[in-house]
Amino acid sequence: MPAPLSTATGSVATQPNSASSRAVLSLLTSLFFTWGFITVINNTLLPHLRSVFDLNYTETTLIESVWFIAYFFASIPSARLIERVGYQKSMVIGLGMMAAGALLMIPAARLPSYGVTLCALFVIACGITLLQVSANPYVAVLGSPETASSRLNLVQAFNSLGATLAPLFGAYLILGRSASGTAEAGHVLTQAEKLADAQAVQLPYLIVAGVLVILALIISRFPMPKMHHGATSRVSDSEREKLSLWKHRNLVFGIPAIFIYLIAEIGVANLFINFTGQPEIGGLNHEQGAHYLFLLWGGMLVGRFIGAWAMNKTTAERVLAFCAIGAFIVMMIAALGTGSFAMWALISVGLFHSVMFPTIFTLGIKGLGPMTEEGAGLLIMAIAGGALVVVQGWLADTVGLQHSFLLTAACELYVLFYAVWGSKTTNAFPDEKAG
């Protein structure tokens, strides 16, 4: 048997050649695409549910908070499941959970029930959490540590591709087939219209469930290199007890960086359609707004390809700092401007947000050596920061929807701090080479 491949980001049972690595990465892009697609369907689902259940902004964003609370509760169980059954089987289980949650949306629509809808979305999010905990570190290890940020940005671009296409899917099959999606602003739905609108989500989620089952079957049969856990394969238990994650500045500040960035990303995406509907901004109905949301996520798609290229030319920290500055500027314009100028400023933030999650993640686990897996689990748990989008919902109800985006602008400043100082490694383990 070939010697194990060990790096600062994990270890693999057999050293994959470049052809097999490309094949595995190609397959994994389908996972990134899938959870990006399903996550962003929520952005078209939220204004739809707001009309069906007569929700205020706080109650609407609570739906997304439940989604991200799943990351907090499911991350550690996901890591333990991976230890027991391995990364490949965990990915299959994650896809199965997502399919089950998608099918649960059908009775939620038939009732219709706000509570059952929350349960269904929580199950889907738990499945996505399992995919996140398994797939992100797996991508980081399939190649040189020096290009980990570039590689993760590249596959995350396909996450953005799914996110880019999802609003069109949602606009056509949910908003375009419902009274709430096609009605002019201010139209009050009748009870019959609400019932019909609630049932409009059945076909989209049935299609999603079918695709997830097919993908799970493909992954289960694909020959993927097995990843061992670095903490057990590289140091003894007694040596491991002497090590501490909290001596690594890049991780200590990286955890809140992921947490805070998710507040910004999810707040923009969830309130975007309502923002474009404001008379002083765009005056668009929900279906029209969903088409502009397509451009927001398209910016993230383009930005990740550019970011993957740029990080081969300069450092990941510099690219992250540049994007944080750009994001702060356009969010201030969106929060304080008017008309199409403010709307296009909000659309453009997708371009600057594009590299933030994958870059913070790879900078956060840099130099952790045998503690990489634990650090990665904490970074994934920090995705729960998206649950605090309910704070922006409360701000929107209190000070106005547009001014609530000042919270997003503040989040960009922390990302800038992380890029400039917080991401610098301390007590880093040297990169390990193939043995």
Average pLDDT over residues 101-114: 87
C-alpha 37, offset from chain centre: 10
- State the Cα–Cα distance between residues 159 and 14, nearest whole angstrom: 27
Question: 337 and 385 in contact (C-beta within 8 Å)?
Answer: no
Buried-exposed string 184-222: b where 16+ CB fall within 10 A, e elsewhere: eeeeebeeebbebbbbbbbebbeebbebbbebbeebeee
Q: Which CATH number fits domain 21-225: 1.20.1250.20, 3.10.20.30, 2.60.40.10, 1.10.600.10?
A: 1.20.1250.20
Q: Indicate the CATH number of 246-421 among 3.10.129.10, 3.20.20.150, 3.30.360.10, 1.20.1250.20.
A: 1.20.1250.20
CB within 8 A of 198, min separation 6: which ones?
52, 109, 111, 112
> Which pLDDT value is given to residue 235?
56
Per-domain boundaries in the chain: 21-225, 246-421
- Residue 286 confidence (pLDDT) above 90: no
Q: In what order do the strands lie in the sheet with 5-7?
A: 5-7, 10-12, 227-228
The shares of helix, strand and coil residues in the chain, as percent rounded to the nearest 5, are 80, 0, 20
pLDDT at 194 over 80: no
Give 338's DSSP letter.
-
Looking at residue 14, its pLDDT comes to 42
What is the rounded CA–CA span in Å between residue 201 and residue 120? 12
- Rounded to 5°, the CA angle 424-428-434 comes to 125
What are 156-181's pLDDT values in tens digits? 889 888 878 887 777 776 766 665 55
The region of weakest confidence among 120-129, 170-179, 230-239 is: 230-239
Helix (H) or strand (E) holding 372: helix 372-381
> What is the residue-averaged pLDDT of the chain?
83
Residues sharing a CB contact under 8 Å with residue 290, sequence separation 6 or more, in sequence order: 43, 44, 167, 168, 170, 171, 175, 181, 273
Distance CA 55, CA 154 (A): 38
User: What interhelical angle do 356-365 and 316-336 show, nearest 10?
Assistant: 140
In this prediction, residue 434 carries a pLDDT of 30
pLDDT score for 251? 96
Q: Taking a C-beta distance cutoff of 8 angstroms, is the pair 330, 349 a contact?
A: yes
Cα gap 333→356, rounded to integer Å = 20
According to the per-residue pLDDT averaged within each range, which of 98-112, 119-133, 231-245, 253-267 is highest? 253-267
| Cβ atoms of residues 407 and 391 within 8 Å | yes
Domain 21-225 and domain 246-421 have a common topology: yes
What are the tens digits of pLDDT across the range 198-228?
Answer: 677 788 889 989 999 999 999 999 988 776 5
Query: What is the pTM (predicted TM-score) of this model?
Result: 0.76
CA dihedral 329, 264, 254, 382 (to 10 degrees): 180
Look at residues 70, 103, 67, 130 and name the one whose alpha carbon lies nearest to residue 211.
103
